[in-house]
Amino acid sequence: MSTAIPCDDFISISNSPSMGFGDEVGKLKEFLKDIVRRFGETETLGQSDKAIRSLDKEFDECSVEGWDGYDALPITKSTYNEAKRLIESLPLTTFPIPEVVPEPSGEIGLEWYREERQVFVASVSGRNEIVYAGLLGVNKLHGTEYFGDSLPSVILENLKRLYKD
């Protein structure tokens, strides 16, 4: 008999810092990558794969200028890579899978939408920063955060606010 144990802190596994030197650090990173990959194969944690498939599709369709019918800039490979990193850093066992939404300036946004005034968007453009904005009822918020080795806590805090009930 086996017991199911909920894993609601995938972020601490999937988003560990990569600072360090030497061969052993490289081996450890590969080892960690393999663990994360195996987690991703499970039913619930495999949610990120769905988002990445959606990202792949949008990248294919939006890497040419004017993809929105107006003058949208193409989505670049570096923006794609950063969006993938953002998706992989999300605790998708805790929050729903976001919609991948390309933006006119060539950014890729992730949207969490509950209803018209309960929505949060975080986007990247390959510059190691996350630009975010949200409507949480009567509260409005926006900001920019450095996106280094781990997901900025302000993103998690705002998602918690969005899904608090």
Partner 1 sequence: MGPVDRLEALSRFVLQKTYIRADNTIRPAAFLPNPKNGETSVFRISGITDNEIWAIGDSKVAPKQNRPILGRADINASIVLSNYLEIIPSEPPERHADITGWPEEKSEQKQIALELAAESEFHKR
Residue type, 98: P
Beta carbon nearer to partner 1, 38 or 57: 57
| Residue 10 interacts with partner 1 (CB under 8 A): yes or no | no
Close Cβ partners of 88 (under 8 Å, ≥ 6 residues apart): 14, 15, 36, 48, 52
Please, what is the minimum distance in Å from the beta carbon of residue 159 to partner 1?
Answer: 15
For 34-55, the DSSP string reads HHHHHHHTSTTTTHHHHHHHHH
By CB neighbour count within 10 A (0-12 exposed, 13-18 middle, 19+ buried), where does 49 fall?
Answer: middle
Return the residue of 14, 47, 89, 123 that touches partner 1, per CB under 8 A.
Answer: 123
Residues between 80 and 119 with contacts to partner 1, criterion CB under 8 A: 99-107, 109, 111, 113, 116-117, 119
Interface stretch with partner 1, choices 4-12, 14-22, 35-43, 126-134 (CB under 8 A): 126-134
Return the residue of 30, 60, 68, 157 that touches partner 1, per CB under 8 A.
Answer: 68
Helix and strand totals (H; E) in the chain: 5, 5
| Residue 49 interacts with partner 1 (CB under 8 A): yes or no | no
CA distance 78 to 127: 8
List residues near partner 1 by CB under 8 A. 58, 66-73, 99-107, 109, 111, 113, 116-117, 119, 121, 123, 131-135, 140-144
